[in-house]
Amino acid sequence: MVTKTVEEIEEMRILVERGELPPDAIEKHYEAEAKNVFGHDAKKVKGEYVEQGIGSPGNQTANSIAAYKKYCNPANPKASDPDPNFTENLARMEKELADSNKKRAKKAAA
């Protein structure tokens, strides 16, 4: 599975119109692409795929937060991607980390 260019998607549209590809070919392509990105067991919330891996909101890590602080803190002149909502997002991530640590501890104790 490879991400298709705009031109390749347009070619697919033409092939669908000609009947050479099934009507849902483009939709199936995007679904397959999402499964490659988010995993075969990908979950959707309100029709959108959600991250589940390490560093995601449900599986937050200290390393993920450290990277966010390093690269997104607008107070850091070397930050490559300053986030205007840094303070709010950092507080959210730290809460997610606490929740994730509780889940991990509970799972380890079981």
Same domain, 65 and 102: yes
Q: Name the pTM for this structure.
A: 0.62
Structural domain total, the chain: 2
Tens of pLDDT, residue by residue over 54-109, are 888 888 999 999 999 999 999 999 889 999 999 999 999 999 999 999 999 999 99
Two tokens at 4? 């298709």
Banded model confidence at residue 1, pLDDT cuts 50, 70, 90: low
Dihedral sign from CA coordinates of 28, 53, 73, 99: positive
Same domain, 22 and 65: no
Is-contact 90 74, C-beta < 8 A?
no
Q: Is residue 45 part of a domain?
A: no
